[in-house]
Each structure stands twice: as C-alpha cells, then as structure tokens.
C-alpha cells in the first residue's frame, strides 16, 4: 500500500463515508452541492460520467427513490428511476443501477446513453471524472478541460430545465468552458465543497435549468 493510499484511508472524511455506507468521501461533495443548489429536485433519470468507485451513484439512487415518494402532485411524476454510470474502471455492482465499462469520450457511448434513456429525457448529468494528474498544473488543467468538453456533448440529451454538475480545474481554459456552459444553462455557478482538499485546484461548475 502506497503512502498516499495510507493517508487517504486515515482521512476522517473517508472513514465517515465508510461508516455511512458510501464508497468514497466524494459522496459528501455531492451532498454539499445538493444542499447549496438542490440539483436533485424532481430527478429520476440520472447520468454519472466517470462514476468509479460509485459513491455518486449511491447518492443519486438515494435521492431518486425519495423523489418517487415525494412528488406525486402530477407536475412531473415518474414512478421509476433510471441511473446510468460509466467509467473506464470496473466498479462493484449497485442494485437497480446500470453500469457500462468504457471511455465516455468515445462516440459510440453517446448512442448507448440515448438508447438507455430513450431520447433527451435526462433530468441530471453529474461528473466527478478526473484525469490522472501528472503534477504539471498547466498540462493537467488542459487535459481536464478536454475531458470536460467530452462530457459537455451529453447536454444535448438533457431535458429542458435539467441540471448539470462537472468537476474542472482552475486555469487558463477555465473561463472558456464556463462561457460555454452559460450559453446552455440559465444559471451557472462555481462551487468548491468544503470536503475538497484545500490544496486541490478542483472546482465544480453547476449548470441549472438547461435552456
């Protein structure tokens, strides 16, 4: 076990996540985003890009189930949920969640998503995907933005007024990607959860209410 892995497992947030049944401390980041922006309101069809090890899928399932019970007012009620996760890494199965092991930047994955959700019906797209950092902040930021652009194409399958959450690194190309989101969503906010490591340059962009 590497020193970095040992330190991660001693992390209090990691230990708390395990106690609560979540696969990673990143679950708490998504809970923070939900508390601030209410992204899961009336969400039943959810796409998670770069989902390993599965903690965001777990959180998504929790809210989807709650929504089925909560929203019975006829405004936008579905009696079921559909959650799809994708990653190049294999993950342990989660009941009632569909997983595909592949690179979501590959064109054929778009067809998989369209078929699974049967059209532009996704309520929420989330992505905590990250490149493997090299330590060079400039090149890492460029690669992460490229990954974010690969995720952005799936907004076409998001329903009107649907929401979008993605991790990006601050740097030279950050503003350009932010401006792209502003063209697609009525509201765009940048947010750094308290559970993010202080030394990390990661930030989450929240696109609310797709145009």
Of 167, 175, 184, 211, catalytic = 167
Structural domain of residue 44, as residue ranges?
Answer: 24-210
Instruction: Please report whether residue 154 resides in a domain.
Output: yes
pLDDT tens sequence across 50-103: 999 999 999 999 999 999 988 876 666 678 999 999 999 999 999 999 999 999
| pLDDT-derived band at 6, boundaries 50, 70, 90 | very low
Q: Which pair of structure tokens corresponds to residue 150?
A: 């690969």
d(CA 53, CA 172): 29
CATH number of the domain enclosing 84? 3.40.50.150
| pLDDT-derived band at 23, boundaries 50, 70, 90 | confident
Per the annotation, the verdict on 101 as an active-site residue is: no
Residues 64, 69, 70, 74: what is their CA dihedral angle, to the nearest 10 degrees? 100
Strands 45-49 and 158-169: unpaired
Among residues 133, 162, 167, the alpha carbon closest in space to that of 150 is found at: 167
Instruction: Please report whether residue 63 resides in a domain.
Output: yes
């Amino acid at each position: 076990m590497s020193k970095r892995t040992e330190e991660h497992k001693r992390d209090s947030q990691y230990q708390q996540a395990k106690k609560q049944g979540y696969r990673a401390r990143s679950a708490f980041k998504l809970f923070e985003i939900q508390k601030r922006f209410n992204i899961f309101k009336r969400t039943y069809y959810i796409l998670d890009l770069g989902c390993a090890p599965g903690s965001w899928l777990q959180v998504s399932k929790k809210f989807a189930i709650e929504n089925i019970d909560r929203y019975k007012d006829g405004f936008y009620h579905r009696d079921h949920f559909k959650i799809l996760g994708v990653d190049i890494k294999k993950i342990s199965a989660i009941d009632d969640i569909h997983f595909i092991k592949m690179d979501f930047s590959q064109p054929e994955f778009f067809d998989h998503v369209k078929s699974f959700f049967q059209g532009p019906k996704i309520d929420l797209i989330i992505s905590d995907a990250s490149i493997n950092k090299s330590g060079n902040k400039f090149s890492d930021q460029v690669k992460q933005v490229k990954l974010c652009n690969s995720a952005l194409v799936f907004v076409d399958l998001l329903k009107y007024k649907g929401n979008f959450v993605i991790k990006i690194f601050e740097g030279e190309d950050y503003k350009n990607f932010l401006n792209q989101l502003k063209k697609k969503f009525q509201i765009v906010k940048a947010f750094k959860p308290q559970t993010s490591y202080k030394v990390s340059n990661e930030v989450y962009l929240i696109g609310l209410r797709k145009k």
